[in-house]
Structure 1
Amino acid sequence: MASSSDALAVLFPNVAVTRDIKVRVAVSYLAEQSNPQLDRWFWSYHIRIENCSDLSVQLLSRSWSIVDGRGAIHEVHGEGVVGETPLIAPGGSFDYVSGCPLDTAGGSMSGTYRMVDEDGSIFDVDIPRFALVAPSA
């Protein structure tokens, strides 16, 4: 019988851990929102942030580096995620889904979350690099 951590590894194949904060990412190509004839490809990504530390942490901001199929880098910075700055208790997690359009059929994303723990320590947590790949026609 597979363990729940094995199942999570299948569901969320991209993982990074920083200071006992685990960031898992699953990505899906959305054909129904893409239009290759108009150079538009769209992916959704599901992120789970797990707090494996002994302190509560709050996500303050995000910084993304999005690389398209031509190697052009697009930087995105902002407060929180999906309009929230979640407080994650020890042993807790926070999930959200967002999306990324590109004008190429592939690329990648990676980044960091700025966090603060209950002791006031501010630190960055790595978001693992993940590929954005459209299926071949």
Structure 2
Amino acid sequence: MKRLIGILVTLCVIVTSWGVTGVAQAQALNLSSVNLQSSSILAVRRNIADDKLSEIQGKLDLNNSDVRDFRGLRGFYPTLASKIIKNAPYEKVEDVLSIPGLSESQKERLQANLDNFVVTKMSEAFNEGDDRFNPGVY
């Protein structure tokens, strides 16, 4: 520990001495001559997932959200969220109330949160493989 502190103190002394001895300071880069021709570069970098996320506007898409997206809703993660995912696709939000095997409390939770959901066309970007059950975020 003493050795580490000694090294840090030495580095601080060296950096400080450069400033005192007159080593030229870094100058800001003049960006006034840079001219961006077009914003089409941003459009090229968008992908299917970005387009889908902008379409749902902060709601949970019953046909495309993964199991972890339901963590913010009390009583959904992981059991009820898994049932929702297994029974997709849905035509309309209310279809989620028709999932077979739901308990009364699960139906009540779903009913209370219908405003938090949206249904869009299933996207390959979110439904390929088992990504909705295990999105690989650890």
TM superposition score normalised by structure 2:
0.21
More helix by share: 2
In our comparison, the structure showing a higher alpha carbon Rg is 2
TM superposition score normalised by structure 1:
0.21
